[in-house]
C-alpha cells in the first residue's frame, strides 16, 4: 500500500536551503551559521520523525511516496524525480538526520574559530541533502545522483584544509577510487535497464524492477553469463567503492585527513553505509544471484578480518577507527551476503551510533590535546576528560559487542545468520568470530592507550589538556545513550515485512556465550597488554619482527596498488602525452597548418601591394571573358 504525500521533499529541501544560506550569507554572518546549520538538520529530522510515525501507523510493508516532477522522458524510457519512504529508507533517514544533527551541533564547538566555518557548514548541509536524496530516492537513477553527491561532499570535506598537500591528495584519492566503483555501478545500472528494456519495461524505479524480476531470471549476457549475477557483481563494485570494501577500501583510512566531525558523519556513520543500503534496497535482485551473494559475503568477511588485523598495529587514533569502520562495514556485507539484510541494516544503525560516538570522542581528545592524534603520546587522559572517557568507554563496549550494549545484538544477528541462517556460510561465520575478537582487542587497545596508564604527552601539552565544551560533550552523551540502548530498537522486526524472509530465529545460548566471551576476552587481553604489562606489546612487536612491520604498514596494499595500477597508468599516460598526443595528434594538426602555410606562402607573393599589378590582372580577366564570348 502506497500513500502519496508531499512532505518528503522537505527533508531534502531544508538542508539544501542551508547550503545557499551558508554560501551567500554565512561569511558575513557567522553567528547565524551556528544556528541555521544544525537548525535546518533538526528540522529535517523533525520531518523524518513525523513521516516515519505516519508510515508506521499504516499497515506493515506500506510506503509513503512523494512524486516531485517528471525528470527524464526519452522515448519509452521515463524517470520521475520521486521519493519513497518505506521501512528501510525511514530507518536510514532517521539515522542520517538524527546522527547528522548531533554531529552538526558538535561541529559548532569543534570548528569554532576556523577560517572556513561557513564553508564547512555549507559542505555539511550539502552532504545531508545528497545523502537524503540517496536514501529517499525511489529509483536507481535518483539514487545515483545522491550517490555522486555524497562522493563530492566527501571529496570536498576530506580536502577541507586544502592548504596542506596531503589533505588535498587524500581527497583526490577518495574521489578517484570512488570513481572506479561508480563506473561499476553505472555499468550494472545500464545492463539492468537495457535488459528490462528489451522486454518493453523501460524503468529505473526500484519497485517496478522488483515486479519485473522474472524477466531477468532467464536473461543471459553476451558471454552467456546470467544477467542478474553480472548486474549484482557490477553493483557490488560500486558498493565496495563507496563502502570501503576489498579491493577499494584504501581511500577510507586516508580520508581521516578531514576534520573529525566529517570522519564521524561521512566516513563512519552515514555515507560509507550507502553501499550496504543499496544492496539491502535491491535485496530482491540479489536473491536471484546466489553466486553474487556469496561474493558479497566473502568480500565482507575478508574485509572484516583484514581491516581488523591492520587496526591492531596503527598508532594514529583516527586511523584505528578508520580501519575499524572498514572492518565493521565488512560485517554488514557479510550479513547482506548470508541473506540477512535486516541484520546488516541493524548493524548499520548501531554502528552509526557507536562509531559516531567513538569518532566524536576521538575528536574531543584531539581537540583537548591541541591536535595530537598519536596514541603513543596520549595516556592517562581519564582524569582530565571524564565525560569523554566515560562516553568512549560506552562506545568501546558497544563496538566490542559486550551485552547489553547495542553492538552485541546486531553483530550477533549477523554472525548467527552466517552460521545458521537460511543461506549460511559457516566458514565465513568463523572468520566473523575471529574479526569480532580482533574488534574487541583493537578498540580496547585504543581506549586504554588513550585514557589509562601513564600520560605520555609532552609537558607543555599536558598543561593545556581540558575537557571539551558542552556543545561537544552533550552530543557525546546523547550518542552514548543511543550506543548503549540501541540494541533494543526493533530494526529487524520492522524490516521483516520488507525483506519478506525469516531471519535465522533465536540465537542459541552457546553462540551468545561465545560472542560475549570473545568480546570480553579481547578487551581483557588489551587491558593486560596495554595497562598491566605496558612493556609486553613492544617485546611482542620486536619478536614478531617483519610480520609486525607488515601489519603496521597496512600489508603495503597502497604500495601494491601504486606499483600495479598507478604507475602503469602513469606510464600509459606518459606515452599518451608525449609520443601520441604531442607527436601524432599535435603533429597532424601542426603538419596541416604548416602545409597550408607553405602553399599559401607561394600564393601570397601575388599580392604585391602595387596597384598596377592588380590592374594587369583585371586586364587579363577582362580579356579572358571577352575572349570567351568572342570565340565560343
Partner 1 sequence: MSPTPLAWYLGLSAVLFTVGVLGVLVRRNVIIIFMAIEIMLNAVNLAFVAFARSLGSMDGQVMVFFVMTVAAAEAAVGLAIILAIFRSRGTTNADELVSLKW
Min. distance of Cβ 599 from partner 1 in angstroms? Answer: 14
Min. distance of Cβ 610 from partner 1 in angstroms? Answer: 5
Backbone dihedral angles phi then psi of residue 66, each to the nearest 5 degrees: -130, 105
Min. distance of Cβ 22 from partner 1 in angstroms? Answer: 59
Min. distance of Cβ 618 from partner 1 in angstroms? Answer: 9
Min. distance of Cβ 606 from partner 1 in angstroms? Answer: 9
Virtual CA dihedral for 409, 411, 415, 416, nearest 10 degrees?
10
Min. distance of Cβ 625 from partner 1 in angstroms? Answer: 15
Q: Which of 616, 621, 625, 626 binds partner 1 (CB under 8 A)?
A: 616
- Where are any strands of DSSP class E within 376-462? none
Virtual CA dihedral for 304, 305, 307, 311, nearest 10 degrees?
120
- Which region among 95-103, 153-161, 452-460, 615-623 touches partner 1 (by CB under 8 A)? 615-623
Min. distance of Cβ 594 from partner 1 in angstroms? Answer: 17
Q: Which of 1, 59, 165, 611 binds partner 1 (CB under 8 A)?
A: 611
Residue 549 vs 608, nearer CB to partner 1: 608
601: preceding bond cis by omega (within 30 degrees): no
Quote the CA–CA distance of 317 and 442 in Å, as a whole number.
Answer: 11
Residue 618 vs 628, nearer CB to partner 1: 618
* Count of residues that bind partner 1 according to CB under 8 A: 11
Backbone dihedral angles phi then psi of residue 64, each to the nearest 5 degrees: -100, 145
| Of the candidates 479, 17, 456, 464, the residue with the CA atom closest to the CA atom of residue 269 | 479
Q: Where does residue 431 rank: exposed (0-12), middle (13-18), buried (19+ CB within 10 A)? A: buried
Residue 164 vs 604, nearer CB to partner 1: 604
| Of the candidates 252, 233, 246, the residue with the CA atom closest to the CA atom of residue 435 | 246
- Which region among 68-76, 277-285, 320-328, 607-615 touches partner 1 (by CB under 8 A)? 607-615
Residue 222 vs 607, nearer CB to partner 1: 607
Residue 214 vs 612, nearer CB to partner 1: 612
| Of the candidates 293, 294, 409, the residue with the CA atom closest to the CA atom of residue 346 | 409
The partner residues of 81 in beta bridges, in order of sequence, read: 69
Residue 217 vs 626, nearer CB to partner 1: 626
Provide the angle, in degrees to the nearest 10, between the axes of the packed helices 117-136 and 140-158: 160
550-589 footprint of partner 1 as x/- string (CB under 8 A): ----------------------------------------
HEC letters along 437-502:
HHHHHHHHHHHHHHHCCCCCCCHHHHHHCCCCCHHHHHHHHHHHHHHHHHHHCCHHHHHHHHHCCC
Min. distance of Cβ 607 from partner 1 in angstroms? Answer: 5
Residue 535 vs 601, nearer CB to partner 1: 601
Residue 74 vs 615, nearer CB to partner 1: 615
Q: Is 604 an interacting residue with respect to partner 1 (CB under 8 A)?
A: yes
Neighbours of 516 (CB within 10 A): 16
Q: Is 598 an interacting residue with respect to partner 1 (CB under 8 A)?
A: no
Interface positions, 151-210, toward partner 1 (CB under 8 A) = none
Q: Which of 454, 609, 624, 632 binds partner 1 (CB under 8 A)?
A: 609
Q: Which of 222, 509, 598, 615 binds partner 1 (CB under 8 A)?
A: 615
Residue 165 vs 611, nearer CB to partner 1: 611
Residue 1 vs 603, nearer CB to partner 1: 603
Q: Is 607 an interacting residue with respect to partner 1 (CB under 8 A)?
A: yes
Q: Which of 70, 198, 582, 608 binds partner 1 (CB under 8 A)?
A: 608
Residue 560 vs 626, nearer CB to partner 1: 626
Q: Is 599 an interacting residue with respect to partner 1 (CB under 8 A)?
A: no
- Which region among 231-239, 314-322, 481-489, 611-619 touches partner 1 (by CB under 8 A)? 611-619
Residue 59 vs 607, nearer CB to partner 1: 607
Long-range contacts of 158-165 (CB under 8 A, 24+ apart): 158/254, 158/255, 158/257, 158/258, 158/262, 159/257, 159/258, 160/116, 160/119, 160/120, 160/123, 160/258, 160/259, 160/262, 161/116, 161/257, 161/259, 164/257
- Which region among 469-477, 490-498, 571-579, 602-610 touches partner 1 (by CB under 8 A)? 602-610
Q: Which of 57, 463, 546, 605 binds partner 1 (CB under 8 A)?
A: 605
Q: Where does residue 405 rank: exposed (0-12), middle (13-18), buried (19+ CB within 10 A)? A: buried
| Of the candidates 186, 187, 197, the residue with the CA atom closest to the CA atom of residue 219 | 197
CB neighbours of 538 closer than 8 A, spacing ≥ 6?
none
Quote the CA–CA distance of 191 and 225 in Å, as a whole number.
Answer: 12
The partner residues of 67 in beta bridges, in order of sequence, read: 82
Q: Is 610 an interacting residue with respect to partner 1 (CB under 8 A)?
A: yes
Quote the CA–CA distance of 524 and 533 in Å, as a whole number.
Answer: 12
Min. distance of Cβ 590 from partner 1 in angstroms? Answer: 22
Min. distance of Cβ 629 from partner 1 in angstroms? Answer: 16
Min. distance of Cβ 627 from partner 1 in angstroms? Answer: 16
Residue 563 vs 619, nearer CB to partner 1: 619
247: preceding bond cis by omega (within 30 degrees): yes
Residue 74 vs 607, nearer CB to partner 1: 607
Evaluate whether 437 touches 331 at the Cβ level (below 8 Å). Answer: no
Provide the angle, in degrees to the nearest 10, between the axes of the packed helices 341-368 and 406-420: 140
Min. distance of Cβ 631 from partner 1 in angstroms? Answer: 18
Min. distance of Cβ 603 from partner 1 in angstroms? Answer: 9
Sign of CA dihedral 210, 213, 215, 220: positive
Min. distance of Cβ 164 from partner 1 in angstroms? Answer: 56
| Of the candidates 144, 142, 139, 145, the residue with the CA atom closest to the CA atom of residue 205 | 139
Residue 573 vs 623, nearer CB to partner 1: 623
Min. distance of Cβ 615 from partner 1 in angstroms? Answer: 5
- Which region among 116-124, 512-520, 548-556, 600-608 touches partner 1 (by CB under 8 A)? 600-608
Quote the CA–CA distance of 180 and 190 in Å, as a whole number.
Answer: 16
**CA 82 from chain center: how many Å?**
23
Q: Is 620 an interacting residue with respect to partner 1 (CB under 8 A)?
A: no
- Which region among 5-13, 395-403, 542-550, 601-609 touches partner 1 (by CB under 8 A)? 601-609
Q: Which residues bind partner 1 (CB under 8 A)?
A: 604-605, 607-612, 615-616, 619
Amino acid at each position: 500500500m502506497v500513500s502519496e504525500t508531499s512532505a518528503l521533499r522537505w527533508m531534502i529541501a531544508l538542508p539544501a536551503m542551508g547550503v545557499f544560506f551558508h554560501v551567500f550569507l554565512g561569511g558575513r554572518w557567522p553567528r547565524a551559521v551556528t544556528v541555521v546549520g544544525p537548525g535546518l538538520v533538526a528540522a529535517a529530522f523533525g520531518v523524518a520523525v513525523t513521516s516515519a510515525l505516519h508510515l508506521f501507523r499504516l499497515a506493515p510493508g506500506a510506503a509513503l511516496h512523494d512524486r516531485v516532477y517528471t525528470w527524464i522522458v526519452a522515448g519509452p524510457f521515463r524517470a520521475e524525480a520521486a521519493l519513497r519512504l518505506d521501512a528501510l529508507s525511514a530507518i536510514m533517514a532517521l539515522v542520517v538526520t538524527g546522527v547528522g544533527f548531533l554531529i552538526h551541533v558538535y561541529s559548532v564547538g569543534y570548528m569554532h574559530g576556523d577560517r572556513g566555518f561557513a564553508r564547512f557548514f555549507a559542505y555539511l548541509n550539502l552532504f545531508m541533502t545528497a545523502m537524503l536524496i540517496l536514501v529517499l530516492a525511489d529509483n536507481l537513477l535518483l539514487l545515483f545522483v545522491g550517490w555522486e553527491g555524497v562522493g563530492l561532499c566527501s571529496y570536498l570535506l576530506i580536502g577541507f584544509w586544502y592548504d596542506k598537500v596531503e589533505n588535498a591528495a587524500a581527497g583526490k584519492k577518495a574521489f578517484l577510487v570512488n570513481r572506479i566503483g561508480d563506473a561499476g555501478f553505472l555499468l550494472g545500472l545500464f545492463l539492468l535497464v537495457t535488459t528490462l528494456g528489451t522486454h518493453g519495461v523501460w524503468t529505473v524505479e526500484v519497485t517496478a524492477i522488483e515486479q519485473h524480476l522474472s524477466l531477468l531470471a532467464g536473461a543471459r549476457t553476451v558471454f552467456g553469463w546470467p544477467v542478474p549475477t553480472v548486474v549484482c557483481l557490477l553493483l557490488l563494485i560500486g558498493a565496495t567503492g563507496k563502502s570501503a570494501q576489498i579491493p577499494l577500501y584504501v581511500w577510507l583510512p586516508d580520508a581521516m585527513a578531514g576534520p573529525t566531525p566529517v570522519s564521524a558523519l561521512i566516513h563512519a556513520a552515514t555515507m560509507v553505509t550507502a553501499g550496504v543500503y543499496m544492496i539491502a534496497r535491491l535485496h530482491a535482485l540479489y536473491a536471484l544471484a546466489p553466486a553474487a551473494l556469496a561474493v558479497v559475503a566473502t568480500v565482507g568477511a575478508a574485509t572484516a578480518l583484514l581491516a581488523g588485523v591492520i587496526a591492531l598495529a596503527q598508532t594514529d587514533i583516527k586511523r584505528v577507527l578508520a580501519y575499524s569502520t572498514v572492518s565493521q562495514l565488512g560485517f554488514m556485507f557479510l550479513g547482506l551476503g548470508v541473506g540477512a539484510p535486516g541484520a546488516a541494516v541493524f548493524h548499520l544503525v548501531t554502528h552509526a551510533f557507536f562509531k559516531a560516538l567513538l569518532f566524536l570522542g576521538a575528536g574531543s581528545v584531539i581537540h583537548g590535546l591541541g591536535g595530537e592524534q598519536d596514541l603513543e603520546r596520549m595516556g592517562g587522559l581519564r582524569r582530565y576528560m571524564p565525560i569523554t572517557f566515560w562516553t568512549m568507554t560506552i562506545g568501546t563496549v558497544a563496538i566490542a559487542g559486550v551485552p547489553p550494549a547495542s553492538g552485541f545484538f546486531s553483530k550477533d544477528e549477523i554472525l548467527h545468520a552466517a552460521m545458521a541462517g537460511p543461506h549460511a556460510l559457516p566458514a565465513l561465520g568463523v572468520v566473523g568470530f575471529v574479526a569480532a575478537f580482533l574488534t574487541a582487542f583493537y578498540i580496547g587497545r585504543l581506549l586504554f592507550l588513550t585514557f589509562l596508564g601513564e600520560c605520555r604527552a609532552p609537558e607543555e601539552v599536558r598543561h593545556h589538556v581540558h575537557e571539551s565544551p558542552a556543545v561537544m560533550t552533550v552530543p557525546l552523551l546523547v550518542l552514548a545513550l543511543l550506543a548503549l540502548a540501541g540494541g533494543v530498537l526493533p530494526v529487524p522486526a520492522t524490516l521483516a515485512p520488507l525483506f519478506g524472509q525469516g531471519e535465522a530465529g533465536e540465537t542459541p545460548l552457546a553462540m551468545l556465550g561465545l560472542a560475549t566471551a570473545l568480546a570480553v576476552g579481547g578487551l581483557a587481553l588489551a587491558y593486560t597488554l596495554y595497562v598491566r604489562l605496558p612493556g609486553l606489546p613492544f617485546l611482542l612487536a620486536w619478536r614478531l619482527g617483519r610480520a609486525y612491520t607488515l601489519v603496521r604498514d597496512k600489508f603495503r596494499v597502497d604500495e601494491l596498488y601504486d606499483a600495479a595500477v598507478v604507475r602503469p597508468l602513469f606510464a600509459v599516460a606518459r606515452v599518451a602525452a608525449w609520443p601520441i598526443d604531442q607527436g601524432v595528434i599535435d603533429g597532424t594538426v601542426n603538419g596541416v597548418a604548416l602545409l597550408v602555410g607553405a602553399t599559401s606562402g607561394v600564393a601570397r607573393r601575388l599580392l604585391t601591394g602595387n596597384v598596377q599589378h592588380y590592374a594587369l590582372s583585371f586586364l587579363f580577366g577582362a580579356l579572358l571573358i571577352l575572349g570567351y564570348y568572342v570565340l565560343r
